[in-house]
Amino acid sequence: MSEEHQCNGDCGHCSHAAEERQRISDCKLRQNLAGVKRAVVVLSGKGGVGKSTVAANLAAAFARAGKKTGLLDVDVHGPSVVEMFGLRDAALEATEDGTIFPVEAHGVKVMSVGLAVPDPDAAVVWRGPMKIGVIRQFLEQVAWGELDWLVVDAPPGTGDEPLTVCQTLPEAMARGAVVVTTPQRVAAADVSRSLAFCDQLAFPVAGIVENMAGFVCPHCGERFDVFSAGAADSLAAKYDAPVLGRIPLDPRVCASGDAGEPFAAAAADTPAAAAFADVVAAVEASPVFRT
Ligand code: ADP
């Protein structure tokens, strides 16, 4: 607040009061996230490409490797993480002073809008300011504690939710985006906008994951490019970002998601599991996350 400002006690009509509230909220948020070393924001321009699957598996793999891990699902309108971590019946706990405790599953501290609404099947009908408020609340009031990795699952596109997350995560932590695409050109056009979004915000990009990249027949071992190929390479060239890995289509990835068990936590010995492991190693090695 400027030194010249004279308080007349009428906070409701004073722009300085709003500024002061914002300053206090920013300060609390930074304090609350002070123990978080790295944040990976999983983005995509398109729904259904496997963004939540990649986010859930990254988090599960970090936790399996003994890293302190959190998973924040800010996909307000389609919070898949609740299903993928088998948390449909989980209940949140909070203290009277507003601290919210994340739910623990597969060694990961999980927070999602899906945990905060009473009926997981109900449609969440919120406009921008409401979504922004809830995401800020998750960053400011959830007891994340000390974390090596906070994985954030953002909804598809470049709207309020990814914008709030990327603009709000403090620069003091190592932050970066993992952008998920499928191999076809139609997907690349949409995912390109997510990379342009990061460019515009000067938000660091760790790299691109190509999901549903071919299908390896479990009987003959032959590989088929179901959705053609090449999206990740063309995006990587256009935005000068590395390809972190290519995950094949595997019915077990889908089945494990439906069963509430992230694939990486099941540690199956398959080409898809090996591909997830490559992605995890590439994210860990990314200079963007060096602390
Ligand atoms: P998004 O978050 O991009 O909307 P999801 O992660 O919810 O996408 O994935 C959409 C569906 O595709 C889910 O049922 C998921 O289990 C399935 N899926 C994702 N990746 C794969 C894969 N590599 N092989 C098979 N199924 C997959």
Whether residue 183 contacts residue 212, with contact meaning beta carbons closer than 8 Å, is answered with yes
Instruction: Give the integer Cα–Cα distance in Å for 267 and 144.
Output: 26
Q: Which atom of ligand 1 lies nearest, measured to the CA of 53?
A: 6
Q: Does the beta carbon of 48 lie inside 6 Å of ligand 1? A: yes
Q: Which atom of ligand 1 lies nearest, measured to the CA of 254?
A: 16
For residue 168, pLDDT beyond 90 = yes
Nearest residue CA, atom 20 of ligand 1? 50
Q: Does the beta carbon of 247 lie inside 6 Å of ligand 1? A: yes
More confident residue, 175 or 262: 175
Average pLDDT over the chain, rounded to whole?
90
Q: Which atom of ligand 1 lies nearest, measured to the CA of 153?
A: 2
How many Cα atoms sit within 13 Å of 170 on the Cβ side? Answer: 17
The amino acid that residue 96 corresponds to is E
pLDDT digits (tens, 9 = 90+) for 205-226: 999 999 999 998 878 878 889 8
Instruction: Give the integer Cα–Cα distance in Å for 74 and 157.
Output: 13
Comparing 1-10, 12-21, 115-124, 172-181, the range with the smallest average pLDDT is 1-10
The stretch 60-77 carries a mean pLDDT of 93
Nearest residue CA, atom 13 of ligand 1? 254
For residue 196, pLDDT beyond 70 = yes
Residues 6+ apart with CB under 8 A from 184: 227, 228, 231
Please state whether 75 falls in left (phi above 0), alpha (psi between -120 and 50) or beta: beta
Give the distance (Å) from ligand 1 centre to CA of residue 4.
Answer: 56
Per-residue confidence at 227, pLDDT binned at 50, 70, 90?
A: confident
What is the structure's pLDDT at 268?
65
What is the token pair recorded at 68?
A: 């302190």
Q: Does the beta carbon of 42 lie inside 6 Å of ligand 1? A: no
What is the structure's pLDDT at 162?
94
Give the distance (Å) from ligand 1 centre to CA of residue 181.
Answer: 11
What is the structure's pLDDT at 3?
55
Q: Which atom of ligand 1 lies nearest, measured to the CA of 84?
A: 16
- 260, 264, 268, 272: CA torsion to nearest 10: 110
Q: Rounded to 5 degrees, what are φ and ψ at 175?
A: -120, 145
Give the distance (Å) from ligand 1 centre to CA of residue 258.
Answer: 10
Nearest residue CA, atom 9 of ligand 1? 50
What fold does the segment set 11-289 form as a domain?
A: Rossmann fold (3.40.50)
What is the token pair recorded at 27?
A: 């300060």
- 274, 276, 282, 285: CA torsion to nearest 10: -90
For residue 232, pLDDT beyond 60 = yes
pLDDT digits (tens, 9 = 90+) for 23-59: 888 899 999 999 999 999 999 998 999 999 999 999 9
Q: Does the beta carbon of 211 lie inside 6 Å of ligand 1? A: yes
Q: Does the beta carbon of 80 lie inside 6 Å of ligand 1? A: yes
Give the distance (Å) from ligand 1 centre to CA of residue 265.
Answer: 16
Q: Does the beta carbon of 261 lie inside 6 Å of ligand 1? A: no
Instruction: Give the integer Cα–Cα distance in Å for 264 and 27.
Output: 36
- Please tell me the total number of residues recorded for the chain in this structure: 291
Nearest residue CA, atom 23 of ligand 1? 249
Whether residue 44 contacts residue 51, with contact meaning beta carbons closer than 8 Å, is answered with yes
The stretch 263-283 carries a mean pLDDT of 85
